Structure 1
Amino acid sequence: MRKSSTKYFGRHKSSTTFENRFILLLSIGFLLFIFLLGRLYYLQVINYKHYNTLSETNRIKYVPTLPKRGMIFDRTGKLLADSDAMYSVDLSLNEVDDLKSTIRAMKSLIGISEKDIADFYSRKNKLKRHDIVTLKNHLTDEEVAKVLSVRHLYDGVDISAKLLRHYVYDNATSHIIGTVGAVDRKDLRTLDKKKYKNAEFIGKTGIEKYYDKILYGSAGYKIIEVNAKGRQVREVDYNKATSGKDIALTIDIELQKYAYEQLKNYNGAVVVLDPRNGEVLALVSSPTFSANSLLWKNKTYNQNFEISSSPLFNRASNGLYSPASTIKPFIGLSALYHRVINPNRMIYAGPYFKLENSERKYRDWKPKGHGYVDLATSIIQSCDVYFYRLADLLGIDRMSQFLENFQFGEVTGIDLPNESAGILPSRKWKDENIGRKWTKGETIITGIGQGYMLVTPLQLAVATSIIANKGKIVLPKINADFSQNISEKLLEKQEFLTSQIPDENWERIQKSMFDVVNQSNGTAYWTTRDKKNMISGKTGTVQVYALSQDDDDRDDKDIPEHLKDHSLFVGYAPTDEPKIVIATIVENVGSGSKYAAPISANIINYYLDKRISE
């Protein structure tokens, strides 16, 4: 009985212990359930918006897709500019855990410059948190491999392929086609933010800049799903980028290359036009530069640019020079129009000209003078004294008003950015810009293209085409599809030139220009040997420094290179039916007959003999 009672109490005690433990476990489970329910309520209800946004951000990524830039061709269909692949290392700002340490790691791995890092932060500060920013462009194959090998260690680091501009003929076309470059702060202030969102490269100079909106196209995008490491899982949506439009230029690349070779050892410019329609056949500025070099693409500084005579400067459309004796046919035509001379009357032209009641000598380039000359002879031999007399007879008012009809002092409207207008001086111009009255001495030197008057080689080519066309004005263009709106003012100028100046006067000037090249006493006769293409032209020598009143000898002076005369030539051919007009300047080499004239003749003959015939 005692033994049985002991067993009963043992079983009762064990049952009570089990019940206590079960209750405790149930209580803990219930508390955990309440905690989880509360946490779920906190996440799903109270902080729903925050975590939902965070989840979507981590899962979905917006990736811009940049358009392929339009190609550029010459007039014969030869490719001038296209785009090649370029690899970059990019950082997705919302995925990088520690931006500074990630940049340090990439710098150690592939050698990122301080400038690249500064540019990165500059772009980052202008973009949203979720944007992708390029850390370094132009990765080599070895650098791409290095980044890919460690990419899994750094969230938000990726390699992207982009299209970078490539110029087939590089130096020969760098000024006319221009370049593209990285978007900078100045660009960001003026660009269409919608069209150029995430753009890294835009046109900076030349055709690339003038037609950037056409060449650039329209950007697209991809919406992709990524994993926790930021790697793409699948594509959710996309909007395809629209490639930029191709452009066909009026230039003949073979003529462009030939003109470049003729000029590349000098500082200067050549502009070649078709006078029938204004199409630019070639446009060269020298020295030039390599648009394909990493120097331009990375925007790095190079000492050679500072000491090599401004290779980025386009002398053809922006360089300002005195027209020198190339202005004489225009002054002669003005004198005929105003009837201040008898063109056949012989006038004695000694070594200098003096104004009445003045002791100042305005010297001729020929120390002993030219003797007796008429209008034609004065153009053929480039007699300064004769044109001093014409300038004195005409006066600055009539000269300035007449020269305005040839587009001097105005931009030509060519489809290149930042064209210079030059200076066509007048009483009003001097008063407004210098604040002093005009003098008779300034009128005299304007008659030979010196003094305040400044022109671009492009303006000289356009003005020469007007002589070749007997007053018809054609406006220059480089894009074959470009068409300028002819203003009422321009139509009035053309009406004046074609109706008020008789053919007889045009032909007198044209004949004189023909004899400059083809008559034995012409200033360009001996340096332009091949006469078969009937070239007409006019030489010019731009004085960079002035002689003293007691000195009449320039040739024997030992002067620095930068003070030597500029050599100029303008011309057209064939004389009877002009197909080509040229303006050439060669800086600091000497007279126009020795350098610019033979270079121009070579280019004209090459075009007429080899390009048109093909």
Structure 2
Amino acid sequence: MAVKRVTIKNHSAEANLFARRTLITFIGVLVMILILFNNVYDMQINSYEKYQTRSNQNRIKLLPVAPNRGLIYDRNGVLLAENRPVYSLAIIPEQVDDIEQTLTDLGQIIDIDEEQKQNFIESMRYKRRFKPLELISRLDEQQVAKVSVNLHRLPGVIIDARLKRYYPFGELTTHSLGYVAKINRKDLLNLEQQGKAEEYKATRDIGKLGLERYYEDILHGKMGYQEVEVNNRGRILRTLNYTPPVSGKDLTLSLDIELQMIAKRALAGKRGAVVALDPRDGGILALYSNPSYDGNLFVHGISSKDYKNLNNPDRPLINRATQGTYPPASTIKPFLGLIGLDENLITLHSKIWDPGWFQLKNGTRKYRDHLKWGHGWVTLEEAVMRSCNTYFYDLAYKLGVDRISENMAKFGFGESTGIDIHEETSAILPSRGWKRARVNQPWYHGDTINIGIGQGYWTVTPIQLAQATSILVNKGKVIEPHFVAQIHQGDSAVYSASEPTNITRALTDSPEALINRGFSINEKPPVVLNNDKNWDIILESMRATVRKPAGTGYNAFLGTDYRAAGKSGTGEVVGRAQDVEYDASKISENQRDNAMFIAYAPHEAPEIVVAIAIENVAVGGGGSNAGPVARQIMDQYFSNRALTNNNQSNRN
């Protein structure tokens, strides 16, 4: 029989083992507790500020608040660009029990198309339900009224109001003011590159053209902030602090809206441009390009149909006053005569014989005068007054292209004027170097003959003609043309064109930025003559052009109660052979001559300079087509001045 062994437990050894294990566990727990307390201490004491900031970032949000855009006024205080409330229809899904039924109810009150419904339902999938979702972006007054009276039975439906730019005069001011439109990807990239993206977080629109774009930094204002507390889902619980935005500064222009209206009326049915400025300070009084378009179309996003209508052969999107290029024609004859006088190639009394044409020695081509039988013996004054081509063919040949291009550049031809909008072209002042670079050909004597009457390669813009005429009447003083007469914040002016010494303090936040953006009066070198009496000779010849019956501007300014002066021009669009007679009825409209005119008044102390360009006239030249337009502008200007003087006299 086997014996069964019984193992006796060693209680002492087991107790020791348990004690050791308990000690190790206790030490482990103690270490973990120490680590935990160390981390708590580090978070609560050492890293308190760090985690407090992160906590606040999760709890407190800064919501940007857009500033109101600055307003724009004309010289008489007429509002040209304002901010009007625009109403949109939105729904807060969280507050609506049945979205489909609410949309149906709204559809019975106002028209809602299927596309708007689908866009709204689609947006609900990606937006938080407690935030308003836009259903209709623009409501008219009747729609606002209909929805408003039914809001009590439409829980969750709200009418949201915001300010949008509006131009009361529409197409009358578009080429001057430009317009604002929605900020796109390109705009955002530019803002980021300029370090301005933060200032536009709450802004939907930005200046795209004209003054709206040029003075964007001044018109936009400074963004404000709303400090709010939110929960973990982003819902706003309460407002902690509010920093109001600073509205943009307002602009007062030298522009006169009544002159703009006259310009539009005078150019009705024509393609062309009118520029009127004050030669005493360079302020633009009128700048109108016809045809034009309504900038309001772009503010809310232009439809493809409307944009397609603007892309037509009449090119309404082009600002003809600053971007339209035209042969200056005979309007440059006073300038050419001035150069001839100063170079001692002609005198007031020297004459040439005009048989009706000019011919170079050993040449075969005859360069025609506009009178086939010629003007006979003509002096400088008669040549300007009667627009004798032969006289200036001869003078241009004597001067040569080098002296012509060098001296004409001093009057601003061939370069930008510096006007305070970006949409400007420099046109072409031809020279030997220009022709070689452009067409890789040498300069010929025939080219010089052509530019002697403002034809050939030479082109100008109406604003260039206006500035050049201003330099002429100022006897060499060069002043850049500009729109802005004053910048003000509320009732306090921060810049005035009449006080150029105060320009550096125009904006307290960044005077340097002002100067860089064109607020400094660029004191360009004056045009200096060898004999200052030559200014008066040329100006008197322009006075004779509208005063004497033989002058090309006589009929246009007959009977004025102010002393005007000017010069007409008729520019060939397409060159013609020397024996071909011009007959507008036998050529296409876009090949007909342009009508040009420059004028100023009063002759003794000029207050207004006008430059007119009219494209493809059917009958007549600059004197009979563009001259009457200049007359209408000046009549309005002096009529307003007389009315203002009478009102002041009555008050005194």
**Cα distance 1:107–1:268, how it changes in 2: closer, same or farther (>3 A)?**
farther
Paired with 2:68 and 2:437, the residues of 1 have a C-alpha distance of 48
Residues 110 and 146 in structure 1, CA contact (< 8 A), matched pair in contact too: no
2:259 maps to 255
Paired with 2:107 and 2:442, the residues of 1 have a C-alpha distance of 63
Give aligned-pair identity as a percent: 41
Bigger drift between 208-217 and 81-90 goes to 81-90
Match of 1:537, SS? strand
Paired with 1:219 and 1:243, the residues of 2 have a C-alpha distance of 8
Paired with 1:229 and 1:469, the residues of 2 have a C-alpha distance of 69
1:587 aligns with 2:615: yes
Bigger drift between 355-364 and 372-381 goes to 355-364
Aligned partner of 2:316 among 311, 317, 339: 311
Residues 116 and 136 in structure 1, CA contact (< 8 A), matched pair in contact too: no
Residues 182 and 299 in structure 2, CA contact (< 8 A), matched pair in contact too: no
1:176 maps to 176
**Cα distance 1:230–1:113, how it changes in 2: closer, same or farther (>3 A)?**
farther
Paired with 2:363 and 2:114, the residues of 1 have a C-alpha distance of 66
Alignment length (residue pairs): 552
Match of 2:177, SS? coil
Give the aligned residue type for 1:586.
I
**Cα distance 1:568–1:235, how it changes in 2: closer, same or farther (>3 A)?**
same
Paired with 1:148 and 1:470, the residues of 2 have a C-alpha distance of 68
2:547 maps to 518
Give the aligned residue type for 1:403.
M
Residues 274 and 612 in structure 2, CA contact (< 8 A), matched pair in contact too: yes
Give the aligned residue type for 2:560.
K
Residues 471 and 479 in structure 2, CA contact (< 8 A), matched pair in contact too: yes
1:268 aligns with 2:298: no
Residues 348 and 373 in structure 1, CA contact (< 8 A), matched pair in contact too: yes
**Cα distance 1:227–1:434, how it changes in 2: closer, same or farther (>3 A)?**
same
Paired with 2:481 and 2:274, the residues of 1 have a C-alpha distance of 14
Q: CA deviation at 1:132?
A: 9.1
2:514 maps to none
1:161 maps to 161
Match of 2:200, SS? coil
Deviations 1:559-590 (A, max 9, x none): 22222111111011110111111101111114
Residues 219 and 250 in structure 2, CA contact (< 8 A), matched pair in contact too: yes
Paired with 1:77 and 1:152, the residues of 2 have a C-alpha distance of 45
Aligned partner of 1:539 among 568, 580, 584: 568
| Equivalence map 1:221-240=2 (5 Å) | 221-224=225-228, 234-240=238-244
Q: CA deviation at 1:464?
A: 0.4
Give me the CA root mean square deviation. 4.2
| Equivalence map 1:94-105=2 (5 Å) | none
1:380 maps to 385
Q: CA deviation at 1:463?
A: 0.5
Paired with 1:313 and 1:581, the residues of 2 have a C-alpha distance of 23
Bigger drift between 276-285 and 72-81 goes to 72-81
- Name stretches of at least 5 consecutive residues in structure 2 with no aligned partner: 1-39, 41-51, 97-101, 486-495, 501-518, 645-652
Aligned partner of 1:461 among 459, 466, 485: 466
Residues 106 and 112 in structure 1, CA contact (< 8 A), matched pair in contact too: no
1:18 maps to none
Match of 2:410, SS? helix
Residues 270 and 316 in structure 1, CA contact (< 8 A), matched pair in contact too: yes
1:606 maps to 636
Paired with 2:563 and 2:435, the residues of 1 have a C-alpha distance of 41
| Equivalence map 1:141-540=2 (5 Å) | 160-191=160-191, 192-224=196-228, 234-292=238-296, 294=297, 296-300=299-303, 301-302=305-306, 303-307=308-312, 309-480=314-485, 481=496, 484-485=519-520, 490-491=524-525, 494=526, 497-498=527-528, 500-540=529-569
Paired with 1:448 and 1:188, the residues of 2 have a C-alpha distance of 48
Match of 2:435, SS? helix
Match of 1:548, SS? coil
Match of 1:581, SS? strand
**Cα distance 1:420–1:431, how it changes in 2: closer, same or farther (>3 A)?**
same
Residues 181 and 298 in structure 2, CA contact (< 8 A), matched pair in contact too: no
Bigger drift between 450-459 and 322-331 goes to 450-459
Deviations 1:494-538 (A, max 9, x none): 1xx34x342321111111101110100001112322332111000
Paired with 1:215 and 1:310, the residues of 2 have a C-alpha distance of 29
| Equivalence map 1:541-556=2 (5 Å) | 541-551=570-580, 553-555=581-583
Residues 310 and 316 in structure 2, CA contact (< 8 A), matched pair in contact too: yes
Match of 1:176, SS? helix
TM-score by length of 1: 0.79
**Cα distance 1:135–1:563, how it changes in 2: closer, same or farther (>3 A)?**
farther
Deviations 1:383-406 (A, max 9, x none): 111111111111000000111110
Give the aligned residue type for 1:297.
H
Give the aligned residue type for 1:568.
M
Paired with 1:355 and 1:81, the residues of 2 have a C-alpha distance of 57
Q: CA deviation at 1:374?
A: 1.5
**Cα distance 1:152–1:439, how it changes in 2: closer, same or farther (>3 A)?**
farther
**Cα distance 1:256–1:57, how it changes in 2: closer, same or farther (>3 A)?**
same
Paired with 2:473 and 2:205, the residues of 1 have a C-alpha distance of 42
Q: CA deviation at 1:209?
A: 1.0
**Cα distance 1:223–1:151, how it changes in 2: closer, same or farther (>3 A)?**
farther
**Cα distance 1:112–1:198, how it changes in 2: closer, same or farther (>3 A)?**
farther
Residues 348 and 537 in structure 2, CA contact (< 8 A), matched pair in contact too: no
**Cα distance 1:556–1:71, how it changes in 2: closer, same or farther (>3 A)?**
closer
**Cα distance 1:149–1:272, how it changes in 2: closer, same or farther (>3 A)?**
same
**Cα distance 1:324–1:149, how it changes in 2: closer, same or farther (>3 A)?**
same
Deviations 1:269-303 (A, max 9, x none): 111111111111111111112223x4653221324
Deviations 1:395-429 (A, max 9, x none): 00000011111011111111111321121111111
Match of 2:404, SS? helix
**Cα distance 1:265–1:541, how it changes in 2: closer, same or farther (>3 A)?**
same
**Cα distance 1:398–1:242, how it changes in 2: closer, same or farther (>3 A)?**
same
- Name stretches of at least 5 consecutive residues in structure 1 with no aligned partner: 1-44, 46-51, 97-101
Paired with 1:116 and 1:325, the residues of 2 have a C-alpha distance of 63
2:86 maps to 86
**Cα distance 1:519–1:321, how it changes in 2: closer, same or farther (>3 A)?**
same
Deviations 1:61-87 (A, max 9, x none): 654321111111122222222100112
